[in-house]
Structure 1
Amino acid sequence: MVRDPIASRHVPSAAEICAALDDPDCREIIHALEEPLTASEIQERCDIPQSTLYRKLELLTDATLLEESTEIRRDGHHASKYAIAFDEIRITMEQDHTLGVAVERPARSADERLADLWSEVRRET
């Protein structure tokens, strides 16, 4: 499975993002992700039980704070890899006194932009 927050149509609410960032385990995962890692590699770096780790990864990917991609392996046992999918998060007060959120994403390469465009074309056909 691939979950790309940049290509996703889901726009997380301020509450979703704040809930993920308020969780100490989620913050520990983000801190550990200096490079894309598999769940087992994250577990090695963080002191989080495996069942809890998968729930936290789900929370972070649903909030579009992590990107999940598939690492293809020659032995046929593919693995999900997780990477940080934001550079900056800003929480703002809207005119109606609700919270708004702006997530700055990393720059995309030409190949990534082409893949996004191709995915969009396939969705529309």
Structure 2
Amino acid sequence: MQILIILALSLHVLAAIFWMATTGMLARAGGMGAETLFPRQIIAVVLVVLTGGYLWSQLHTGGFGTYEKVLAAGAACAILAAGIQSIGVGVSLRALKGDQGAGARKRIAAIHRIAAPLLGICLLCMVLARYI
């Protein structure tokens, strides 16, 4: 059982780092490269959510104290960022394939600029939850 938790935690952290790093990069690069990275980001989002749910079910079933509240706030920020990115970037990428290229690229960058601070808050919650 311990090995499953270790594997889930490793996968959770690695996928989250990829998601955060690519979000920050796309925000800074003005959305250039979103066509390639967006499908990979969605895979990372799914991995983060599934492994996070598994870890919660295995490690936090006893109660809902301050630690769990801070983790839940971080998870809510991550889920909000995932929703914003998946809907906003998905629609913008379809527009990018059409004749609305410049506006779509700006929207992609703006969406990532909105999601990046949410993921930063999520990271702070996950790291600091134990100390609050």
**TM-score, with structure 2 as normaliser:** 0.27
Identify, as 1 or 2, the structure richer in strand. Answer: 1
